Amino acid sequence: MTAPPLISPTRIYVEPAAAELPRGRAVLDRFPDAERVEVASHWRIPELHGDEANARRWVRIKREALVLGVKKSLSARPNGRSAHFIAPSTANGCAMACAYCYVPRRKGYSNPITVFANIEQITGYLARHVARQGPMTTPDQVDDRAWVYDIGENSDGAVDALVSDNVRDLVELFRGLPTAKASFATKYVNRDLLDWDPQGRTRVRFSLMPERTAKLLDIRTSPVARRLAALDDFVTAGYEVHVNLSPVVVHDGWLEDWAELLVALGDATSAATRDQLAAEVIMLTHNRALHEVNLGWHPRAEELLWRPDLQESKRSEGGGVNVRYRSGLKRALLDQLLSLIATHAPYLRVRYAF
């Protein structure tokens, strides 16, 4: 039995201004059979956003709905963890359905992909922003020599590439910027990216978690074994490849599962890949509102994600109230995982862990 496609839009919600731009027309031409629905704003679509009943149609909406809009505000926000700057989004939302994803908290509920059609405006802004920074002179944990821009904060770049050429345009932009790199995290193996010739100027961060946990939480993503098998190929194609060990979810047997994954990571990669590999380690952050939504479409996930016996509320940098592992316990849990990395993957440099 053939699995349904990850994205097969039957309805595209379109801002008129987006439909007039070349990228907007290209997206519409890519899906000629989809119904087009004109909307005033990609932020306010009652059928998709803010309707609690949509939790029951979570996956179907992600596969069948697509939004085409214009990015109104362009800024590169300082970051300092995954990147030096968060680039203006060329998309938000996702066709995958990871149960812990924070993005639905912003637009509400299923939140399928929104593509921004004003790509030339975004790439122009980024080129000017990079030029203003000048050369990077002080190495840090983000990078030794280049300013790093996260181009996928609110989406998955490898999946976005199934819908438009926005991500390819960004990879080609940074290929010509010797003082900067693009970076994005992904849980999807899109081998079309192997032909893009990034010349070391794009960092792809493959997110990994133990397979047993991923089968329950990483819905509609590429299997972890497939992600591992892709690492060498992406290095050979000219990408810098890192891994995100995230989110780290604590449950019975979690350390044994992570040890198994770390061994598999070493077995799957060549010496050349391991020599350039680095990791981010991120413990689970959850949210009560997302917990309530998940109960409407995937309650089994909440058996792992919602652990009041281990978690406490904490206000995020953005002002929201999230749920994280208790501070003293979290440090101990992190130390246990870092010890596993030192034992089973001593080559793996941990850029940061929190």
Indicate the DSSP class of residue 180.
E
CATH entry, 11-353, from 1.10.10.60, 3.40.50.720, 1.10.10.1200, 3.80.30.30: 3.80.30.30
At 325, give phi and psi (nearest 5°): -60, 140
Mean pLDDT of all residues in the chain? 93
3-state SS class at 155: coil
Q: What is the pLDDT of residues 220-272, one digit of tens each?
A: 999 999 999 999 999 999 999 999 999 999 999 999 999 999 999 999 999 99
Give 296's pLDDT tier (boundaries 50, 70, 90): confident
The residues with which 69 forms a beta bridge, in sequence order, are 116
pTM: 0.95
What CA–CA distance (Å, rounded) separates 124 from 76?
A: 12
Kindly state the tokens that stand for 89. 């989004």
Instruction: Give percent helix, percent strand, percent coil of the chain, each to the nearest 5.
Output: 40, 20, 40
Name the residue ranges covered by the structural domains of the chain. 11-353
Q: What is the pLDDT of residues 88-110, one digit of tens each?
A: 999 999 999 999 987 665 566 67
Antiparallel, parallel or unpaired: β 35-38 and 11-14: parallel
Antiparallel, parallel or unpaired: β 202-208 and 180-186: parallel
